[in-house]
Amino acid sequence: MFAIKENTNTALHEADQEYYLPTFKRFPLALDRGEGCYVWDVEGNRYLDVLAGIAVNNLGHCHPKVVQAVQDQASKLMHISNFFVSEPQVELSKMLVEKSGLDRVFFSNSGAESVEGAFKIARKYAHTKGRGSGIIAMQNSFHGRTLATIATGKAKMQKGFGPMPAGFHRVPFNDLEAVKALISDEIAAIILEPIQGEGGVRPADKQYIQDLRKLCDKEDIVLIFDEIQCGIARTGKFLATEHYGIKPDIITLAKGLGSGVAVGAILSNEKVSQAIDFGDHGTTFGGNPLACAAGLATLKTIEEENIIQEAELKGRQLMTMLRDRLKGYHGFREVRGKGLMIGVEFNFETKPLVMEMMKHNVIANATSGNVLRLVPPLIINESEMKELVDVIEASLKKINL
């Protein structure tokens, strides 16, 4: 039986390198437990976690209400397949429909699966209308790492995996004319993140979103919002679409929906949902009782603890703190975002800053090269926000910027 020689960060990383597919550039930590906004490594060191599993642990680590719900469900019934219904799945479906204002739900296991399912719904709807299967996506987008989802994204993620699936087109973000130039009967759908995450935490312009909705209505094109990172209260609204005053035809969810338990969802309006026939799509694990119990506990806790309002208020507070404290630093450009989905842009690569912050016991993330991404648990308090900003400032000084 395999055994780690030492329960240390170094020993576990060496074992990981021996056995795991070498696809992640991991931080030099082996995490052991978490509570609230903090995690501890196997050597007992505590870290303020403002990455939150990449915008997953919106309620913090191991929120007691979610833990209790998962424990209760695990002792009762974990998996049954979708030949049957379960109470947690029906309740979570109802709650998501009511909160989103859309009409139908399909559960998946991940964000990429949700996006793939959205593409199928959109293309099936287009087929019933005699349209082609083309899908317009945005440059610098990120929708997952399956073949179809990388076909929408950056060229560097496609390298070595060709040929790419056909029918995907990319245009600049926030550029309506570029979208219009591609519109024809061959286009089935347009997909975008209301706030690009991997693209540098860049919100879409409100007028652009509203004009896209009008264009899709006019041309009978399916509008898909990928809210995998920006949904589930992250931006100070339950869904980021609420900032824009419109409704897309399809919304994809995952990440924060299960508080760390793998669950994704596709929400769709009745118009496009009617194109789906029995057997057109499926999943073995998606929507099982355990995952849905976690999702249900997450959404109920968001309501009970006023998490949406807290995310909006704390987001404004944190962005103000960041602007006030960093404005004098060479290389600082701007703070942007919505709620607690925040990007701090510099004129230099932010990976060294992230590594220095880790030395000060704060876990964050560099994205899009020169952006520090902050997506902390939505339960973060003022003291923890001050700790974060203090560490950013100290780390900037340490790397001589």
Catalytic residues: 142, 226, 255
Closest CA to 389 of 349, 351, 342: 342
Q: In this structure, which amino acid lies at residue 253? A: L
Q: Taking CA 254 as the corner, what is the angle to CA 353 and CA 201, rounded to the nearest 5 degrees?
A: 35
Closest CA to 126 of 282, 276, 269, 281: 276
Start-end of H helices in 129-191: 147-150, 155-158, 176-180
Q: Residues 118, 266: contact at Cβ < 8 Å?
A: yes
Using the 8-state DSSP alphabet, how is residue 205 labeled?
A: P
Q: Taking CA 245 as the corner, what is the angle to CA 169 and CA 144, rounded to the nearest 5 degrees?
A: 35
Distances (CA, A) of 93 to 89, 295, 317, 377: 6, 10, 34, 24
